[in-house]
Chains A and B, each alone.
Chain A
């Protein structure tokens, strides 16, 4: 069973930065496209970003583009989310998910990001 483990969340002041990581327990990680999805407190799911197999294709939610950057290291089976200029409204749980032909088939447990002074 493929497992995803997110890390890197925590408390950060407004304007600060965090780098989230998601390690996938799958030796053929490069066959997965990857997404980051977030959930604000008490709210629904929000798609954040996508990265293709080799990292050449990257797409972002329009509201987040410019502050967030997705990347991956296939040698480490890891996808990253660099978040800059964080705001209180970015507070929430951040999930990573695998994507195989339009199927978000595996999800991590999420990592909590809190933006607060």
Chain B
């Protein structure tokens, strides 16, 4: 069975830029998977940052951006801030009737 892959962890310096990726164990991620990126901080529900590859959800700062890089979906954070620390999840539409989350990336800002 195909699995959605993400880096388990990443670290970025305050003010720095980081790119998290979302791939598949079999095949390439494209816009037809409608990639979604979510952020979750401890004790909170998820918050959608990016949907449909590169559309920012309401209220999300423009330092968050989504794209397709090669065969993966990507979330880039430009000018990282301390409150960007948390877990980031990728969600793909595997076909019209199934969604699948990646395992998540724990981002540390230090």
The CA-CA distance from A107 to B94 in the complex, in Å, is 21
Question: Which residues of chain A are near B68, meaning CB under 8 Å?
Answer: none
| Interface pair B58/A105, CB less than 8 Å apart | yes
For the complex, count residues of A whose C-beta is within 8 A of B.
22
B-contact bits for A45-74, CB 8 A (1 contact / 0 none): 111001000000101011000000000000
What's the tally of chain B residues with a CB closer than 8 Å to chain A?
A: 25
0/1 interface trace, chain B 11-40, chain A, CB 8 Å (1 if under): 000000000000000000000001010101
When chains A and B are docked, how far (Å) is the Cα of A104 from the Cα of B97? 15
In the assembled complex, which residues on chain A have CB atoms less than 8 Å from the CB atom of B93? Answer: 102
Whether B89 pairs with A102 at a CB distance below 8 angstroms is no
* Cβ contacts under 8 Å, A37 to chain B: 46, 101
Instruction: Find B36's partner among A50, A62, A102 (CB 8 Å cutoff).
Output: A102
Q: CB distance A46 to B101 under 8 Å? A: yes
- Chain B contacts to A: CB under 8 angstroms: 34, 36, 38, 40, 45-48, 51-52, 55, 57-58, 87, 89, 91, 93, 97-104
